[in-house]
Structure 1
Amino acid sequence: MARPKRPGPWLDTRENGIHYACWYDERTGETKRISLRTRDSAEAQARFAEFLIKGHEIRRGQTGQLTVERALDDYFEEHVVKNCADAQRQKDAIAHLKAFFKDAPVTSIDVPTSQAYTEARVTGRIGGGKRRKKKEASPSTVWRELNVLVAAVNHAKWMKRTDYDVQVDYPQEKRLGEDDEAPFYDREELFRIFEEAAIWAEEEREKSPDDPNAGEIEPFITLLYYTGARRRSIENLTRSQIRMDQKRILLKQPGKVDTKKRQPIVPILKPMEPALKFLLATGREGRLFRCSDFYRPYRELMRRAGIPDFKAHPHIMRHTRATHLLQEGKPIYSVARLLGDTLATVERVYGHHSADHLGDILEEE
């Protein structure tokens, strides 16, 4: 006996905990659903009530037109949350995409609209957020965001919500080591950064003498430089990743999803020991740093140290470590192992800096 059709929309909860508004589509003979984008029951009830008031146009006649907003939301909830190591980056990209495409159907995504999105992002008409003054996005950022858009539509196609073959035009992207040099801090700039970090940390300790966590910027800078790691890897370090007896740090967190950005095991060098002992001695459980995002403090530190704005980004410290090691004549294989990069990547991105130093050595001979 067939299950009786429900007369109106109903609220449902999926295995992932997300609440959905569901209804039976008489036209297609199928049950439709739309995500309410929350796991909270009270919030879901409020959004469901809003759906009952405003959702009639979705249930009537437009169910075949999957919108960009809905495709992005479904992609985030059904794929990104479960499988992506850095969900926040994907979430930020989705916010920018939704601000531009809004409720346009996915079938409207093509080469001209993707070019229009690129123009809107690189000129700052879309994006930036409320707290960030700089609204313009780099071509590499737009490239990544368009990849998210394509992935969302392909996910919808895989879930049989659309049969649209999406095509976009990616912006021209510069490749470090080929079209542009990887920026780095010279020795004098690095000295000023370390000096200013120590001064800033001391100021924080004087302001909050009873706070054992004060002055985190100094150990953060130390570990960022000597490990050559990415910012997130240092920010999210936990006690279990530090092996002082073995003099090594396991940059990859247990259970973290593998990505193309490898997180190797790095050695604990003598300059790193005071920073690690400070972090381990403050009694933290779990994460070593209280601060979960050092991006803005890092920018402020660069301003205090007189570093140009175009180099005021934490990733420049990774470039700096690799460049300095190559300039010191360290084997490129060792540098690649430290960074978790391939030999080809290290040679392409950083080789031109070491070439200048190599020229000086050859001239001496």
Structure 2
Amino acid sequence: MPEYEDWLRQYIEYLQIEKNASPHTIHMYKNDLQEFAAFLEKEVVDGIDEIEMGVIRLYLSQLYDNGLSRRSVSRKLSSLRGFFRFIEREEGVGKSPMMDVRLPKEDQYIPQFFYEEEMEELFKAADPSTPLGQRNLAILELLYGTGIRVSECADLEMERIDFQLSTILVTGKGRKERYVPFGQYAQDALKAYIENGRSELLTKSNEKTTKVFLNNRGKAITPRGIRTILDKLVKEASLTVDIHPHKMRHSFATHLLNEGADLRSVQELLGHEHLSSTQVYTHVSKDRLRDVYLNSHPRAKK
């Protein structure tokens, strides 16, 4: 549908230029809207003005038939809502086909995290006597000590580390920058890696880079490379748990909140725009709940 493709191109430009959306967000929206275009073609919907609420509901039922979770369906419908809102604003057209379509209630999601004992085993698995071991320990300490995303860790530049103030300057989603503090463990691991391991790794490549973390060829590491390192450390620590890119971030937030940090501070440290994104971490372990109860309720113990 040429008309749809033209609107899609304009919308992507709008996201890039006016909204300053991240490449990941733009890629996600584009994929969702191209999938919807394929659906329209299959259902022989020839024009934008033919897209009405019934078409959207049919698309919704097909998404569920394909086995998508409510969370995934909500995301795709959000992409459509933004797209049609853009068309409505630009054209001054009538009622959006998304106007009366309700987003499905999402499944309750509790982030997976490492317990503190598991974190200790991970730290032990990194061998600080080798350049790569020093790098791995620095990555672990920084991810757990700051809660930054794996992509933010891979993008970190040397000049953005301030050892005097113990902070790093991170570029997050939407290219928004934020200062994040780090503790003594991360400081010691970073210094040891930068002064020794990183210098040695740099000699393996003719290319000079200002990125902090390097691969075994002396080049800037990728987010996928960091994920591979984390997978390897989990195996070496003999942990019977799965790991995914955000699990260190989840652990950072969970442990802060379990120790009494306030939600607003954790929101700022994580770089969340909305508090609702941080509230998912307000779950606590059963042990923590029991401790709070025993220490707080007047009739919990004699």
The alignment's TM-score, normalised by the length of structure 2, stands at 0.68
1:344 & 1:73 partners in 2: Cα distance?
31
- What CA distance in whole angstroms lies between the structure 1 residues aligned with 2:15 and 2:190? 36
Q: Offset at 1:112?
A: 4.6
Higher RCO (CA-CA < 8 Å; seq separation 6+): 2
CA deviations on 1:32-55 (whole Å, 9 max, x unpaired) are xxxxxxxxxxxxxxxxxxxxxxxx
Q: Offset at 1:116?
A: 4.7
2:91 is paired with a residue whose SS is coil
Match of 1:151 among 77, 82, 87: 82
1:171 maps to which of 66, 82, 104: 104
> 1:313: Cα distance to partner?
2.4
Write the mapping of 1:13-32 to structure 2, written as runs, cut at 5 A: none
Alignment of 1:26-105 (within 5 A): 66-67=3-4, 69-80=5-16, 83-102=19-38, 103=41, 104=45, 105=47
Aligned-partner Cα distance in 2 for 1:93–1:237 = 26
Q: Specify the SS of the correspondent of 2:180.
A: strand
Unaligned runs of 5+ in 2: 203-207, 214-219
1:239–1:286 Cα contact (<8 Å) kept: yes
The residue type equivalent to 1:171 in the other structure is: P
Per the alignment, residue 161 of structure 2 pairs with 242
Pairing 1:287–2:204 present: no
Contact 1:72 1:149 in 2 (8 A): no
Residues 245, 184 of structure 1: alpha-carbon distance in 2 compared, 3 angstrom cutoff: same
Task: Decide whether aligned partners of structure 1 residues 227 and 160 sit closer, same or farther in structure 2, where only a CA change above 3 A counts.
Answer: same
Report the Cα offset of residue 237 of structure 1: 1.6
Tell me, yes or no, if the aligned pair for 1:239 and 1:285 is still in contact at 8 Å.
no
Of 250, 253, 263 in structure 2, the residue corresponding to residue 319 of structure 1 is: 250
Report deviation, 1:122: 5.7
The one-letter amino acid of 1:194's match is F
For each residue in 1:191-215, what CA deviation from the matched residue of structure 2 results, as whole angstroms up to 9, or x when unmatched? 343344x26x98xx6xxxxxx7787
| Per-residue CA distance 1:117-151 (angstroms, 9 max, x = gap) | 4555566x4xxxxxxxxxx6543343233222222
Flag the 1:94–1:350 CA change in 2: closer, same or farther, 3 A.
same
163 and 251 in structure 1: CA distance in 2 versus 1, 3 angstrom threshold: same
Q: Is the 8 A contact 1:139 1:173 kept in 2?
A: yes
CA distance in structure 2 between the aligned counterparts of 1:320 and 1:347, rounded to whole angstroms: 14
SS of aligned partner of 1:265:
strand
Whole-angstrom distance in 1 between the partners of 2:60 and 2:136: 35
* 2: CA distance, partners of 1:110 / 1:302: 51
* 8 Å Cα contact 1:224/1:234 also seen in 2: yes
Q: How many residues align?
A: 269
Taking the aligned partners of 1:332 and 1:150, their CA distance within structure 2 comes to 30
Distance 1:114 1:298 in 2: 43
1:111 to 1:225, Cα distance in 2 relative to 1, 3 A: farther
1:185 positional shift = 1.6
Question: Within 1, Cα distance between the matches of 2:231 and 2:58?
Answer: 34
Matching residue of 1:190: 119
2:182 to 268, 280, 283: 268
The one of 271, 281, 286 equivalent to 1:349 is 281
TM-score, L = length of structure 1: 0.58
Preserved contact between residue 146 and residue 180 of structure 2 (Cα < 8 Å): yes
Distance 1:142 1:299 in 2: 30
What stretches of structure 1 of length at least 5 have no aligned partner? 1-57, 126-135, 206-211
Find the aligned partners of 1:189 and 1:101 in 2 and give their Cα distance. Answer: 46
Aligned to 1:106: 48
**Aligned residue number for residue 144 of structure 2:** 225
1:68-95 CA-partner distances (Å, limit 9, x unpaired): x443232113333553342223313422
CA distance in 2, matches of 1:121, 1:195: 45
Which entry has the higher C-alpha Rg, 1 or 2?
Answer: 1
Counterpart code for 1:165 = S
Cα distance in 2, alignment partners of residues 213 and 114 from structure 1: 51
Taking the aligned partners of 1:320 and 1:293, their CA distance within structure 2 comes to: 18
Secondary structure of 1:250's partner? strand
> Identity of counterpart residues, as a percentage?
22
**Which structure has more helix as a fraction of its residues?**
2
Amino acid across the alignment from 1:99: E
**How many angstroms apart in 1 are the aligned matches of 2:54 and 2:194?**
51
User: Is the Cα–Cα contact under 8 Å of residues 169 and 178 in structure 2 kept in the other structure?
Assistant: yes
Q: What CA distance in whole angstroms lies between the structure 1 residues aligned with 2:259 and 2:187?
A: 22
CA distance in 1, matches of 2:142, 2:258: 20
Q: CA 1:71–1:322 in 2, change beyond 3 Å: closer, same or farther?
A: same
